[in-house]
Amino acid sequence: MIVDGEVWGNMSATEYFSFKESLAPRVQRAYQQLSEEYDIIVIEGAGSPAEINLKGNDFVNMGMARMANAPVLLVGDIDRGGVFAQLLGTLLLLDEEEKDRAKD
């Protein structure tokens, strides 16, 4: 795991899920520092923003967008197949506030 540009080591998934909530203030602080220096910040999520089983403590996708009050662009890879179903399925699983963040 890398935090603030420094290697912290490796964690099992169980360890990470127990630990990640404590990282949210650091992520928010890092974002705040960047936003004071730059007009535009591109935030890339990890995985799907519609993983409803992980949504409660997520701050790498829609949680981060909420934290940064940022608009969201959903991106798909047409070469992998099923991209339209994936994008539509993602939109259908988002709550209303998240859908409002998704831009055309």
φ, ψ (nearest 5 deg) of residue 72: -125, 135
Query: What span, in angstroms and rounded, lies between the C-alpha atoms of 30 and 28?
Result: 5
pLDDT per residue, tens digit, the chain (104 aa), is 888 888 988 989 888 888 888 888 998 999 999 999 999 999 998 888 888 887 777 778 998 999 999 999 999 999 988 999 999 999 999 999 999 999 98
Pick the closest to residue 49 from 16, 7, 91 (CA basis).
91
> What's the whole-model pTM score?
0.81
Query: Bridge-partner residues for 6, per DSSP?
Result: 3
